[in-house]
Amino acid sequence: MTKDVAIIGGSAAGFFTAYLLAQKGLRVRLFEASDSVAPCPRTLIVTSSVSDLIGSLCTGTVTNEIHHYELFADGRFAKVSLGRPDLVIERSKLIKKLATQAELNGAKVLTSHRFQGLKPNAKDLRFTVSRNGKGAPIEESTNILVGADGAFSKVAESAGWPRQSTVPLFQAIVELPKHMASDTTRVWFAPEHTSYFYWLIPHSPTHGVLGLISGEEREGRRSLERFLERRELVPTEFQSARIPVYTRWLPIHRKIQEGHVYLVGDAAAHVKASTLGGILTGFRGALGVAEAILNGGSSREFMGLRRELNRHQLIRRALDHFTRTDYARLLDLLNPSTQRLLGIFTRDETKKLLFRVLFRQPRLLFLILRSLSNGR
């Protein structure tokens, strides 16, 4: 029987899944609720590993390269230089590029089709979509349904997955401060405002995005505005999103009668808990879903992704209990040897990075263990 795949949601992970499966000759349809493939702009920063993963698919979406990180905490400062630059990507360009390549390889993209829910059926998966208020809902059928419809996935809800926790992300586009190099990202640790950090990422020689992730939506926006005022930065535009929080590995597959349902990307919480970055891990999830569909259910990619996400969760559990003093101590412990390692291995290579860093600077381990102990 020819495998028929219906993907719900025109996300980066959704279009990458469509591209991978269409390349292998499967019949692929992607249903997107919007009237066109026109996602909201948002500046993203990813490690160079994205090029290894998707190759030329990110060509034309990169707006800048980051070669250095400047870290600030309680009057302390540290600088890390990268062996391979991080890439600043415009999310809307990336999704449009992935959509184009998916269609060129045979995937059919249907816009203005909003997923409504699953309908029980003995032979295959039946689901309904609405045409954005135009006429009665349409009934569709497929062997395999992939939910790539974000943190508030309607597919996940219809198939019985639990609702995810999310946190708000806020960014403001600003003119870069004088004397700030456009190849350098700045990070401020201020746990009294956010358990994550503030960032300023240049996306051009003159402008960048300053943002944070907050536990509370109103307080997050106020914290960002106060931070902008203190640094005398004038926002020209704001960006926002809700990001899923990875708390544990979700089984990404469910068999419903004779059909199969998969989740990918934000719908599966394939997001690094340490930074809440989800592009690279979402692509790895897409590779895993494609591998499972093509191989009848098995996927080696998921084993590696699960371990990687769990390591990021362990890091986040420690950082959630860091005080301002702890962050200052952390920067003090970044000796030249440790800084070189941080420049060689990316934050998407935690298995290689953590062991080497803790071996070079064992006092970091005591700092982390103390924080975990305080958290308990």
* Bridge partner list, 240: 170
Q: What is the 3-state secondary structure (H, E, C) of 134-196?
A: CCCCEEEEECEEEECCCCCCHHHHHHCCCCCCEEEEEEEEEECCCCCCCCEEEEECCCCCCCC
CATH topology of domain 62-88+165-244: D-Amino Acid Oxidase; Chain A, domain 2 (3.30.9)
- The pLDDT tens digits of the residues spanning 121-133 come to 777 899 999 987 6
Residue, of 365 and 146, whose pLDDT is higher: 146
* Contact predicate 17/149, CB 8 Å: no
Q: Contacts from 298-307 at CB under 8 Å and sequence distance 24+?
A: 302/252, 305/270, 305/281, 306/249, 307/351
pLDDT at 245 over 90: yes
Please tell me the distance from the alpha carbon of residue 86 to that of residue 130, in angstroms, as a whole number: 40
* Contact predicate 98/20, CB 8 Å: no
Token reading at 320: 């959630």
Mean pLDDT for 13-25 is 97
DSSP class of 62: E
Q: Which of 84-98, 103-117, 329-343 has the lowest mean pLDDT?
A: 329-343
Query: Per-residue confidence at 235, pLDDT binned at 50, 70, 90?
Result: very high
CATH number of 4-41+91-163+246-314: 3.50.50.60
pLDDT given at position 375: 54
Average model confidence (pLDDT) across the chain: 91
Query: Per-residue confidence at 372, pLDDT binned at 50, 70, 90?
Result: low
User: Which pTM value belongs to this model?
Assistant: 0.92
Q: Which part of the chain is CATH 3.50.50.60? A: 4-41+91-163+246-314
Nearest alpha-carbon partner for 362 in 333, 319, 322, 324: 333
Q: Supply the Cα-derived Rg of the chain in whole angstroms.
A: 21
Token reading at 54: 């998707």
* Contact predicate 146/17, CB 8 Å: yes
pLDDT given at position 307: 94
Q: Which of 150-159, 310-319, 353-362 has the lowest mean pLDDT?
A: 353-362
Please count the other Cβ atoms lying within 10 Å of the Cβ belonging to residue 348: 21
pLDDT given at position 376: 47
Burial class (CB in 10 A: 0-12, 13-18, 19+), 176: buried
- The pLDDT tens digits of the residues spanning 321-352 come to 899 999 999 999 888 888 998 999 888 988 88
Q: Which part of the chain is CATH 3.30.9.10? A: 62-88+165-244
